[in-house]
C-alpha cells in the first residue's frame, strides 16, 4: 500500500493531482501532514475531505471572491445586485471581490484562478457550465481555498469537491411546467423548446425535468429544440425562425427562462402572429408574472435569484466552524392565472 511519502513523490511528479492526493491521504488516515511540509489548510482538508478546510482559520476580516458567469439577463443582474448589496451589509466582516466571465467559460476558469491568486479566503462560483468548471473548483481545493457554488453546480459533489451548493431544484422546475401543460391542455400539442446555454446545469436539468413528464404523453410533439443562451435576443431570434418554419402549427412554447419567453413574445407581436399559444417558462421576473396575470403566459415557475443573504449566511456558518449540508435547496413558487396578479411584487426586475 502507498504511504504518504510515495504519494508526495507522485504528486510532485505530476502522476496524481492535489485533489487526488488529498483524497488518498485521507483514505490512508493521514491526520498530520504538517510535519512533511504541507500547508496547514491542505493538511486539514486531507484529514477531512468532507470539509475544505476542516478547521477554517479565524480572522478579523475575510476576503470573499465571487465568480459570476455572465450578466446577460434580468435574472443575473438581480443575483449580482443581491450579492453586492449583502456584501456591503457585511462589510465589517468581509471584503468582496467580484469577477464577470461575460458568458465565456474559459474566462470563468481563469477568473477563479485569479481569485485564488488574490488570496481569497473563500470563493463563491456560479458555474457557467457543469464540466469545465470542475477544473476551477479542483484548483481551489488544491490551493486550500474553500468554494461555495450558488445557483448552478459544476460536476463535483457538495461536501467533497466544494463546501456546499445553494441551488434551486432545476429538474423540478421543468417538471412543474410539464405538469401544468399536461393537466391544462387537450388534444395534440406541437411545441418548441427554448433551451438555456448548452452545458449549463439549468439547461440540462430543466430539459430533463420537462421531458420526464411530457415524453410519456404521446399527444405532445416536439417540433424543434434549440439553444437561446438564456437571453431575450436569443429567444426572439429562435421564435422568428420558428414562425417562418412552422407558423400556426405551433401550439406551445417551453422556455428554460423568462428572458427567452419574453423574446419569443416580442417576435410573435412583431410578426403579427395572432394564434394564442400556451407559454411555460421559468424564473419569476415581474414582467413574466404580469404576462401570466394578463393571460399571455400560461405558467411561470420561480427560480429565486436573491442569493446574497443565504450565501453570506452560509459563509458565516462556515467560518464559525459549522458543518454545512452538502446541498441547500431554495424553495420556489409557481405562478398561474389563479395567483399571479397578487404576486407580481414577488418577482424581480422591472415590471
Ligand atoms: O442558473 C439560473 C439561470 O441562469 C436562470 O434561470 C437564468 O435566467 C440564468 O441565466
CATH class of segment(s) 62-167+305-330: alpha beta
Does the pLDDT value for residue 272 go beyond 60? yes
Pick the closest to residue 83 from 350, 306, 331, 314 (CA basis).
Answer: 306
Q: Which residue has the cell 448548452?
A: 198
| Ligand 1 geometric centre to CA of 195 (Å) | 11
Query: Starting from the edge strand earliest in sequence, which strands make up the sheet with 122-125, in order?
Result: 94-100, 62-68, 122-125, 147-150, 164-168, 327-330
Q: Is any ligand 1 atom within 6 A of the Cβ of residue 70? A: no
What average pLDDT is seen over the chain? 90
* Class of residue 236 by CB neighbours under 10 A (exposed 0-12, middle 13-18, buried 19+): buried
Angle between helices 308-319 and 74-89 (to 10 degrees): 40
Same fold flag, 62-167+305-330 and 170-304+335-346: yes
Q: What confidence score (pLDDT) does residue 31 get?
A: 47
Percent of residues, the chain, with pLDDT higher than 70: 84
Q: Domain ranges in the chain?
A: 4-42, 62-167+305-330, 170-304+335-346
Percent above pLDDT 90 for the chain: 79
Give the pLDDT confidence of 5-64 residue by residue, as tens digits: 666 666 656 566 555 666 666 556 554 444 445 555 555 554 444 444 456 778 999 999
Cα gap 217→210, rounded to integer Å? 12
State residue 48's pLDDT score. Answer: 46
Residue 210 in contact with ligand 1 by CB distance below 6 A: no
Atom of ligand 1 nearest to the CA of 259: 8
pLDDT value of residue 21 = 64
State which ligand 1 atom lies nearest to the alpha carbon of 201.
1
Which pLDDT value is given to residue 27? 58
| Average pLDDT rounded to a whole number, residues 197-220 | 98
Q: How far is the CA of 72 from the centre of ligand 1 (A)?
A: 10
CATH code of the region 170-304+335-346: 3.40.50.2300
Mutation to probe ligand 1, out of 70, 78, 172, 202 (largest number of atoms < 8 A from CB): 202
pTM above 0.75? Answer: yes
**Residues 317-324: what's their mean pLDDT?**
90
Band (pLDDT 50/70/90 cuts) for residue 172 is: very high
Q: Which of 54-58, 103-107, 189-193, 334-338 has the lowest mean pLDDT?
A: 54-58
Q: Which residue has the higher pLDDT, 50 or 84?
A: 84
Confidence of residue 323 (pLDDT cuts 50, 70, 90): confident
Predicted pLDDT of residue 150: 98
Q: What was the pLDDT predicted at 174?
A: 98
The ligand 1 atom at the shortest distance from the C-alpha of residue 230 is 10
CA 85 vs CA 97, 133, 272: distances in Å = 13, 26, 42
pLDDT at 167 over 70: yes
Amino acid at each position: 500500500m502507498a504511504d504518504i511519502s510515495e504519494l508526495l513523490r507522485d504528486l510532485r511528479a505530476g502522476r496524481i493531482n492535489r485533489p487526488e492526493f488529498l483524497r488518498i491521504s485521507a483514505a490512508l488516515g493521514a491526520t498530520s501532514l504538517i510535519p512533511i511540509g504541507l500547508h496547514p489548510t491542505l493538511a486539514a482538508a486531507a484529514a477531512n475531505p468532507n470539509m475544505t478546510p476542516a478547521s477554517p482559520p479565524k480572522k478579523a476580516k475575510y476576503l470573499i471572491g465571487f465568480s459570476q458567469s455572465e450578466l446577460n439577463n434580468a435574472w443575473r443582474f438581480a443575483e449580482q445586485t443581491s450579492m453586492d448589496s449583502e456584501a456591503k451589509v457585511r462589510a465589517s466582516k468581509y471584503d468582496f471581490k467580484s469577477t464577470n466571465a461575460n458568458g465565456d467559460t474559459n474566462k470563468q476558469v481563469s477568473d477563479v484562478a485569479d481569485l485564488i491568486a488574490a488570496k481569497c479566503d473563500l470563493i463563491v462560483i456560479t458555474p457557467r457550465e457543469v464540466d469545465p468548471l470542475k477544473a476551477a473548483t479542483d484548483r481551489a481545493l488544491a490551493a486550500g481555498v474553500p468554494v461555495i457554488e450558488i445557483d448552478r453546480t459544476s460536476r463535483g459533489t457538495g461536501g467533497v469537491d466544494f463546501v456546499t451548493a445553494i441551488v434551486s431544484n432545476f429538474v423540478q422546475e421543468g417538471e412543474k411546467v410539464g405538469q401544468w401543460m399536461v393537466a391544462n391542455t387537450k388534444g395534440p400539442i406541437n411545441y418548441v423548446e427554448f433551451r438555456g446555454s448548452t452545458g449549463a446545469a439549468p439547461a440540462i436539468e430543466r430539459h430533463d425535468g420537462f421531458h420526464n413528464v411530457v415524453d410519456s404523453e404521446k399527444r405532445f410533439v416536439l417540433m424543434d429544440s434549440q439553444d437561446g443562451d438564456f437571453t431575450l435576443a436569443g429567444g426572439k431570434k429562435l421564435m422568428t425562425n420558428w414562425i417562418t418554419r412552422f407558423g400556426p402549427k405551433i401550439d406551445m412554447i417551453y422556455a428554460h427562462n423568462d428572458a427567452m419567453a419574453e423574446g419569443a413574445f416580442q417576435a410573435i407581436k412583431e410578426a403579427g402572429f395572432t394564434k394564442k399559444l400556451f407559454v411555460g417558462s421559468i424564473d419569476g421576473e415581474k414582467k413574466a408574472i404580469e404576462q401570466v396575470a394578463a393571460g399571455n403566459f400560461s405558467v411561470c415557475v420561480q427560480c429565486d435569484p436573491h442569493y446574497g443573504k443565504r450565501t453570506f449566511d452560509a459563509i458565516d456558518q462556515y467560518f464559525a466552524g459549522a458543518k454545512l449540508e452538502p446541498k441547500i435547496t431554495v424553495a420556489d413558487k409557481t405562478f398561474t392565472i389563479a395567483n399571479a396578479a397578487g404576486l407580481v411584487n414577488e418577482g424581480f426586475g422591472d415590471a
